[in-house]
Amino acid sequence: MNREKSQALYAAALQYIPGGVNSPVRAFKGVGGNPLFFKGGDGAYLVDVDDNRYIDYVGAWGPLILGHRHERVISALQAQLGKGIGYGASTEAEVEIAKKICSMVHSIEQVRLVTSGTEATMSAIRLARGYTGRDKIVKFEGCYHGHVDGLLVKAGSGALTLGEPDSSGVPQAYSELTHVLPYNDKEAVEDYFETHGNETACVIIEPIAGNMNFVPPVPDYLDLLREKCTESGALLIFDEVMTGFRVAPGGVQQITGVVPDLTTLGKVIGGGLPIGAFGGKRQIMEKIAPNGAVYQAGTLAGSPLAVAAGLAMLETISEPNFYKDLHAKAKALMDGLKERARAAGVPFTTNQVGGMFGCFFSTEEKITKFEQVMACNAEHFQTFFHAMLENGVYLAPSAYEAGFVSAAHGDEEIAKTLDAAENAFAAIN
């Protein structure tokens, strides 16, 4: 595969952009080699600057649940462009998208838009602290909640890929207020709450972890968190920036029936444009400025372009059978991958919920713990990643990221991916 133009652009990027990338997850540090540069997307496909086409399972890291350049999203954007880019004041579409989000995610009675997932979690935590009058927060090892100072402690995603789960530059005074618990360990939750429950402002969790590969919660785990938070007066925050509208129209909370106090959203709700949101019970959300004393603001918050794209997206995914089809495609892909791994004699397993999935080069049947993810065969993943790339399939360049199937992935793309995988598994042995 010719990669000349990508290589040249990467060399130039290294000179002017730190590490050549504007987000570390785009670097190829976890797999070796250099990142590709892209010039276009079309449905399930990405096209790089050397005109190579790839079936895309990154989907801009989650937002592109309809694939690239979906016609409804594009025409909503074009219509808005004809009316202006932004006004720094309220619009009708903001009311519409807020109403739509509240109708889809049942725990949300009021919602505020921000411009990234990071801002959403940062604001939700400030709100939880303001509301409870407490400082301590709880997060889980391997969960990523954006690059908020106090949340870059044992973090997942790029921080984990680069081996820097505890970022430098975070004052110790901040990280001391963050207590980290192991994911899916009920005893650790019980122990923590026994001693610190009454000092805790909130527990923030990815209710299905998508930043240490893809790890769903064990049965009753989220219920336990709910119970302990209620008992101790701490708020439960579900960070559904990634899982929201991905695993089900109402997120993980719809699947499990566990109702958080606050929810953070991002990715899908902007249709691919920069956006984030946090919302929850009215009684809590009313503590935010201008009604309450918790300050939070944004120059570009509720950007008419992002809102137009997001609304078109949310309306399209609300259509009947959308999630049934998405789930069926992701399942066919996972079943096919496992079958081909078995045939090749490569230890391999998967997790999948709705349109999200995780691949593990592991002998263990069920992956539920951070340690199991870390124990997977990194060399096998690297070989697999590069072989898939050579065969026209673009996966996230890290063993610690979830994969995404979009509505644009059809039977043909799944079949082509499985053919590529057959070669890639063979390359391992």
- Residue 257 backbone dihedrals phi, psi, to 5 degrees: 75, 5
Respond yes or no: is residue 144 known to be catalytic.
yes
Instruction: Tell which one of 29, 70, 134, 145 touches ligand PLP (CB under 6 A).
Output: 145
Considering only 80-88, 99-107, 234-242, 325-333, which stretch makes contact with ligand PLP by CB under 6 A? 234-242
Question: What is the smallest separation between the CB atom of 123 and ligand PLP, expressed in angstroms?
Answer: 12
- Residue 358 backbone dihedrals phi, psi, to 5 degrees: -135, 140
| DSSP secondary structure string for all residues of 83-125 | T-S--SS--HHHHHHHHHHHHHSTT-SEEEEESSHHHHHHHHH
Q: Do β-strands 45-48 and 53-56 pair in parallel, antiparallel, or remain unpaired?
A: antiparallel
Question: What is the smallest separation between the CB atom of 241 and ligand PLP, expressed in angstroms?
Answer: 4
Tokens representing residue 197 in the block: 């429950």
Nearest residue to the partner ligand PLP, using Cβ: 117
Catalytic residue among 239, 261, 369, 394: 239
* Side chain identity, residue 280: G
The closest of 30, 34, 142, 27 to 378, measured between CA atoms, is 30
Considering only 8-16, 37-45, 175-183, 205-213, which stretch makes contact with ligand PLP by CB under 6 A? 205-213
Instruction: Tell which one of 211, 253, 352, 368 touches ligand PLP (CB under 6 A).
Output: 211
Respond yes or no: is residue 228 known to be catalytic.
no
The reply to whether 353 sits near ligand PLP by the rule CB under 6 A is no
Q: Is the peptide bond before 347 cis (omega within 30 degrees of 0)?
A: no
Instruction: List all residues 6 or more positions away from 112 whose beta carbon is below 8 Å from its beta carbon.
Output: 123, 277, 278, 279, 285, 288, 296, 301
Considering only 110-118, 221-229, 280-288, 353-361, which stretch makes contact with ligand PLP by CB under 6 A? 110-118
Residues, the chain, total? 429
The reply to whether 213 sits near ligand PLP by the rule CB under 6 A is no
The reply to whether 144 sits near ligand PLP by the rule CB under 6 A is yes
The reply to whether 206 sits near ligand PLP by the rule CB under 6 A is yes
| Residue among 263 and 349 whose Cβ is closer to ligand PLP | 263
The reply to whether 303 sits near ligand PLP by the rule CB under 6 A is no
| Residue among 105 and 421 whose Cβ is closer to ligand PLP | 105
Angle at which helix 378-390 crosses helix 411-428, to 10 degrees, equals 130
Considering only 235-243, 291-299, 316-324, 339-347, which stretch makes contact with ligand PLP by CB under 6 A? 235-243
Return the H-helix or E-strand segment holding 415.
helix 411-428
| Residue among 210 and 358 whose Cβ is closer to ligand PLP | 210
Considering only 41-49, 106-114, 116-124, 226-234, which stretch makes contact with ligand PLP by CB under 6 A? 116-124
CA distances from 100 to 32, 269, 313 (A): 42, 10, 11
Please compute, for residue 211, the number of CA atoms within 13 A of its CA located in the half-sphere on the CB side. Answer: 28
Strand partners, 113: 277
Catalytic residue among 144, 183, 394, 400: 144
Provide the mask over 247-286, with x wherever binding to ligand PLP is found by CB under 6 A and - wherever it is not: -------------------x---------x----------
Contact positions toward ligand PLP, by CB under 6 A?
116-118, 121, 144-146, 206, 210-211, 239, 241-242, 266, 276
Catalytic residue set: 144, 239, 267
